[in-house]
Structure 1
Amino acid sequence: MRVTVTTRRPGTAPGHIFVAPYTIESTMIGQTGSLISDDAGNPIWFRPLSSTSLQNADFKVQTYHDSRTGASQPVLTWWQGSIAIPPRYTNLPGGAPEPGGCYYIYDSHYRLFRTVSAHNGFNADEHEFILTRRGTALFIASRTVPMDLRPYGGPEDGAILDSEVQEVDLATGKLVFSWDMLRHVNPADSEVPASDASSSGGVWDAYHLNSIDENDKGELLISSRNMWAIYNISRKSGKIRWQLGGKKSDFTFAPNARFYWQHDARFRPGNRISMFDDGCCNQPDGTPEQQSHGLILNLDARTHRATVDRSYYHDPALFAPSQGNTQALPNGNQFIGWGQESYYSEYAGAGNTENTPSRNLLYDVRMPGSDISYRAFRNTWVGTPYYPPKAAARTADGHSVVYASWNGSTQTRAWRVLAGPDPRSLSVVVRHAPRSGFETAVTTRSRGPYFQVKALDASGKVLRASHVVKTG
């Protein structure tokens, strides 16, 4: 997938970009999978999937904590499976995970380190996967529960898509905590009518849980898209401490603070929370549609009033029916994944307003066609692949062009090229060719026909050599 960088200004946070491209339309440009890229839009690492029927989601860098040894290490994590996307899948509500998905944890050498699955008949859900300091994983799991939906305006022989927060010990694989949405929240409060079940195999997506966060007070923050609500939950008692938004909100809203169809609710310092406010579409009961934007709210515990602290709008205006995230960066910037709109952006922390959408925009990228990513992140990452670099070569008009690449290496800054008449008689023909994008083309007068490349770091040290190749 080749992206278009539309804005690139000084002041962005360090790190690479992490997305998991896929599409809900008929045509995918490129392949689904997990992609790390640099600020110029060049791929650094790509792990393609074999079919557009498979998707990755929530691809990011996390820290794995080993509860037995106390050691920790940076890892890559993501969900992999199939998402119910009509018309391919109509057995479940759109965006629900099909059975069979799981979470992957890869180490910094791009080796599979762990897989994690849901328990008790639930399916691993693409919306959230968090590694904790306790050596556990917190994630969303979902399953269909048969139910007579007539009291809610749906079919008699219907079902509800239930969501559960699950926590698994990574060392043992055992379930250590769970919190079930259906046991605590009345589905009658949903903004999605139960009659919608007729288009998804009789299954009503009343909740659509899409994010989990936790703080050091033993509280969970969960976002329920189809309730238009965010809930603060006590881990110890399982009780809902407060609800923000929805039909039974414990808070009132100042101007521009109300949200709809939201994603990615996160605790922020100082009685604040952030989210991605989709703001559209299919608003019921004449609710006004609003532009999608990143949103940080102040929550006054005394007055139970929510006010806008910061907001992050896009120019041109975007209206994302689903998905999206607002990531806090270490330097105070905010990174916005625009969900069902094919963009991701970075803003200086002060943000902007609906009337000043270009203010504080530092970085903006558009993905091709209808390609999207459920979330987008900027993370720091050092990748040292367990496999060697790749080389290819061809000769024409008295010279050779050698092509060098190393999928996933973040330390390669240049290439050294060797050539010779046989694989055991190679000598250096190009000592230092600066890396230029994912694949570097190096021209040499040597006709080989055997060639090899060596990856060099910033100090000129050889990281690793490719296999020897022959011109074709």
Structure 2
Amino acid sequence: MACSFLILYLLLSLTSGETDWPHQSFWTGNWQPPHLSLSETGETDTGYIFIGVRKSNKAGNAPTIFDNHGDLVWHGPQRENLDFKMQKLFGQDVITYWDAEPDVRVLGYGATHILDSTYKEIYTVTLRDDFRTPSGKDFDSFIDGHEHYITPQNTMLVSALNFTQTDTSHLRRGTVNMWVLDSLFYEIDIKTNKVLFKWDALSHIPISNSSIAVKGGKELHEAWDAYHINSVTSAKYGYLVNFRHIRSIFYINKDGSVRWQLSGDNNNHGDFESKNVTFAWQHDVRIHNETDESLALTLYNNAAMDNEDPGPSTGLAIHVDLVNKKAWIIYELTDPTDHIVSATQGSFQVLSSLRPAHMLVGCGSIPKLKEYDGDGNVVLRGQFGKDTFSANAYRIFKFPWSATPHWDPAVFVNHTTSYTIDLYMSWNGATGYNNWAIFSIPSRTSTLLEGRLLLVHERTGFETHVPLENIDARFIIAVARDGERILGQSSIVELGQINSVCPVIP
């Protein structure tokens, strides 16, 4: 009965008209990621594309990995998620993502999940502190969706928001006890969830520096979002912190004091002469090649707060001269064929395998990605939703991920006639196999060693379809292989009953 409902659901998914953007559907599991359309115009960097899909259909909202053909590689848990990426922890490659319980006025209060290369969750980073929430609820963890960065010291930097009352009577439209959103970041020990460092904007940066006009604040749920931290990374002498609503980047010392400020608005208290460096409402600021004399910064310059702003949104690389207190633009990445105005989210990643290095830009609220070569030319364009706020992704990355899932491959069997069988096979998350070997075995209690090889079929994308005619077997096992090396095998599949095998969905 369960199989019948699943088949009906999948058939409806495959045949119903799409009102938004095409989604993929599969027989072997209830995964429905958006179709990722990719167009190459030059040599591209290697790696898999990491997209934390949001605001897609319900079965498509998930941390998702695609290959460089746009085929699905891994579909994670179907929840609201942000900041999906690969990082290093204790010298090993891991993937991390954030998900949360929703609440009023914020993305949610949640935890950061750390998975190893078998997709087992090895750590769950949580934050407990004295927070006030707009709904009045208490949550298991108060990490917000903006930042979850593993430091070289194997700690994690996370961001958070607290609804706080403060005196803003010195500001136009301010009051003595105005509700504001205080932006905080924490450094947390990953193994123990112990807080190692805590910093909040309200105690260190005048609220008058905000680029957002004072509004609301009479009630808690109307709190004024004056600061808005959306990225934190470790630096030589402390932390580099981005403030979207101050249109500035701050270098915070390890004692919590402000070392310097680089402003995208020349009228906003910056410490550098930077007449040609302008940015606004920016995201994903990262530090590179830091010395005592200079460093480089990369960021996504939204240049837009809503759809009425002209943009364009661009990727920026900035050189910062710490000795002479000057800054200038190294790259301003735009696609001459596509004027992007992205009001929220966005990312800038320096890729690693080619020289000169390529750069990947995720366009945030616009469901697109662009890869640029070292000369600033577009070599890859990708899209996974309509421009009109359908699917989107907070950040988009490329990584050389390698994984062997701890679950078995999934198989779905469909008898199309009395002598023809359609066999569908997938292994959600696996990266290393290139073919399927189908073995006939004598009984439900038999092992692969007792099997007889029926056929070998090349892997084709995420889900491989093999039509079988007049098959002389009752029980089979599907084996995922790299050449002739076995990497994983399905459970025993019985062919004697139509649609007899329900897929295992990890």
* Fold agreement, TM-score > 0.5: yes
Q: Alpha-carbon deviations, 1:172-199, whole Å to 9, x = none?
A: 3211112211111111111112215579
Q: Secondary structure at the match of 2:361?
A: strand
Could you tell me which residue of structure 1 aligns to residue 19 of structure 2? Answer: none
Could you tell me which residue of structure 2 aligns to residue 97 of structure 1? Answer: 107
Q: Alpha-carbon deviations, 1:439-459, whole Å to 9, x = none?
A: 0001222164433200011x3
Could you tell me which residue of structure 2 aligns to residue 328 of structure 1? Answer: 350
Q: What letter is aligned with 2:283?
A: H
Could you tell me which residue of structure 2 aligns to residue 119 of structure 1? Answer: 128
Q: Distance in 1 between the 2:433 and 2:227 partners? A: 46
In the alignment, is the contact (CA less than 8 A) between 1:254 and 1:308 conserved in 2?
no
Q: What's the CA shift for 1:155? A: 6.0
Q: Distance in 1 between the 2:60 and 2:175 partners? A: 38
Stretches of structure 1 that go unaligned for 5 or more consecutive residues are 66-71, 85-90, 352-359
| Superposition TM-score, scaled by structure 1 size | 0.86
Answer yes or no: is 1:439 the counterpart of 2:467.
no
Q: What's the CA shift for 1:336? A: 0.7
Could you tell me which residue of structure 2 aligns to residue 357 of structure 1? Answer: none
Cα RMSD of the aligned pairs, angstroms, is: 2.3
Q: What fraction of aligned residue pairs are identical, expressed as a percent?
A: 27
Q: What's the CA shift for 1:98? A: 2.4
Could you tell me which residue of structure 2 aligns to residue 364 of structure 1? Answer: 381
Going from structure 1 to structure 2, the CA distance change for 1:233 and 1:260 (only over 3 Å counts) comes to: same
Could you tell me which residue of structure 2 aligns to residue 238 of structure 1? Answer: 256
Q: Alpha-carbon deviations, 1:176-230, whole Å to 9, x = none?
A: 1122111111111111122155798221110110001223x22311100000010
In the alignment, is the contact (CA less than 8 A) between 1:450 and 1:469 conserved in 2?
yes
Answer yes or no: is 1:74 the counterpart of 2:90.
no
- Note the 1:413-452 alignment, pairs <5 A: 413-419=434-440, 422-423=443-444, 424=446, 426-430=451-455, 432-445=456-469, 446=471, 448-452=473-477
Q: Secondary structure at the match of 1:440?
A: strand
In the alignment, is the contact (CA less than 8 A) between 1:322 and 1:339 conserved in 2?
yes
Q: Secondary structure at the match of 1:45?
A: strand
Could you tell me which residue of structure 2 aligns to residue 267 of structure 1? Answer: 287
2:370 to 339, 345, 348: 345
Q: Distance in 1 between the 2:102 and 2:43 partners? A: 36
In the alignment, is the contact (CA less than 8 A) between 2:168 and 2:174 conserved in 1?
yes
Could you tell me which residue of structure 2 aligns to residue 88 of structure 1? Answer: none
Q: Distance in 1 between the 2:427 and 2:57 partners? A: 25
Provide the aligned length of Structure 1 versus Structure 2.
433
Q: Secondary structure at the match of 2:394?
A: coil
Q: Distance in 2 between the 1:182 and 1:208 partners? A: 11
| Superposition TM-score, scaled by structure 2 size | 0.80
Could you tell me which residue of structure 2 aligns to residue 299 of structure 1? Answer: 320
Could you tell me which residue of structure 2 aligns to residue 160 of structure 1? Answer: 180
Q: Secondary structure at the match of 1:115?
A: strand
Q: Secondary structure at the match of 2:412?
A: strand
Answer yes or no: is 1:210 the counterpart of 2:210.
no
Q: Secondary structure at the match of 1:410?
A: coil
Q: Alpha-carbon deviations, 1:383-410, whole Å to 9, x = none?
A: 1111111111122342222111000101
Could you tell me which residue of structure 2 aligns to residue 173 of structure 1? Answer: 193
Going from structure 1 to structure 2, the CA distance change for 1:183 and 1:415 (only over 3 Å counts) comes to: same
Stretches of structure 2 that go unaligned for 5 or more consecutive residues are 1-32, 132-141, 500-506
Q: Distance in 2 between the 1:127 and 1:134 partners? A: 20
Q: What letter is aligned with 1:35?
A: T
In the alignment, is the contact (CA less than 8 A) between 2:179 and 2:220 conserved in 1?
no
Q: What's the CA shift for 1:380? A: 1.2
Q: Distance in 2 between the 1:198 and 1:440 partners? A: 58
